[in-house]
Chains A and B, each alone.
Chain A
Amino acid sequence: KAGVTQTPRYLIKTRGQQVTLSCSPISGHRSVSWYQQTPGQGLQFLFEYFSETQRNKGNFPGRFSGRQFSNSRSEMNVSTLELGDSALYLCASRSAGGRYAEAFFGQGTRLTVV
């Protein structure tokens, strides 16, 4: 059974640009969550999608957005990139119900903003 797949693995972007990251969950999993990891703030929750609906959102500015497709694949978008957006972005998938189920993470996308 394939794990959680995130693409691309690495990205370098310029300040002011936008970026889209992709996450394909484990087959059969309908819940996808996104997390940002930085040395200063640690691992922080961005948002969670279940059946194409955002169920929860963390404390991030509106420049961070996401969506989920009918096949449960999810994308997150960051517009008007800032240097502080440089981070490892991790995606997690959970089984059908989502809540309180075991979360499995992808390998992450490492974003560098220059």
Chain B
Amino acid sequence: GIQVEQSPPDLILQEGANSTLRCNFSDSVNNLQWFHQNPWGQLINLFYIPSGTKQNGRLSATTVATERYSLLYISSSQTTDSGVYFCAVERKSSGDKLTFGTGTRLAVRP
């Protein structure tokens, strides 16, 4: 199956700092999503971005499908950004399932 690797696995930031999270995947994909898992376990949609660049407030994401990676940028981080960030991909032949990376655990200190 497709492999999805996220880096770094853990990240500690001071409030106000910027960060870049990376997601590498091993095959062509038709869907790529970024999620933030809150402390209660819910996956919050950040971006649906199979290719290209999108921005939403302090967050932005870029997927370079031809090179099989995606980046999530967090600017001016806040303590509420803390949590686990997941990248999930769907391959054309995978039949309706998302394959998740192992996540990046982010802690933002006040």
Contact = CB atoms under 8 A, between A and B. Distances in A.
Contact of A107 (B42, B94, B102, B103): B42
Contacts, number: 62
Interface stretch (A13-21, A64-72, A78-86, A98-106): A98-106
A5 B30 CA distance: 26
B96 A48 contact: yes
Given A55-B95, A105-B43, A100 B100 contact: no
Interface size class of B (residues with CB under 8 A): 20 to 34
B20 interface: no
Interface string B73-101: 00000000000001010101011111110
Given A100-B90, A102-B48, A43 B100 contact: yes
